[in-house]
Amino acid sequence: MRVPSSIERVLLDEETIAGRVRELAAQISADYDDADALMLVGVLKGAFIFMADLSRRLTIVHHVDFIALSSYSRGATSTGAVRLIMDTRASVTGRHVLIVEDIVDTGYTLDYLLRNFRAREPASLRACALLSKSARRQVDVPVDYVGFEIPDVWVVGYGLDYADRFRTLPYIAALKREVYAR
Ligand code: 5GP
Q: Looking at the CA of residue 166, tell me the nearest atom of ligand 1.
A: 22
Which of 49, 153, 160, 169, when mutated, tests ligand 1's pocket best, judged by the most ligand atoms within 8 Å of its CB? Answer: 160
Active-site residue, selected from the candidate residues 53, 105, 140, 164: 105
Is there an atom of ligand 1 within 6 Å of 102 CB?
A: yes
Tell which one of 78, 143, 168 to mutate to probe ligand 1, the residue whose CB is within 8 A of the most ligand atoms: 78
Query: Is the domain defined by 19-153 classed in CATH 1.10.40.30?
Result: no
CB count in 10 Å sphere of residue 173: 24
65 is catalytic: no
pLDDT tens per residue, the chain (182 residues)?
A: 778 899 999 999 999 999 999 999 999 999 999 888 899 999 999 999 999 999 999 999 999 999 999 876 655 666 668 899 999 999 999 999 999 999 999 999 999 999 999 999 999 999 999 999 999 999 999 999 999 999 999 999 999 999 999 999 999 999 999 998 86
pTM of the complete model? 0.95
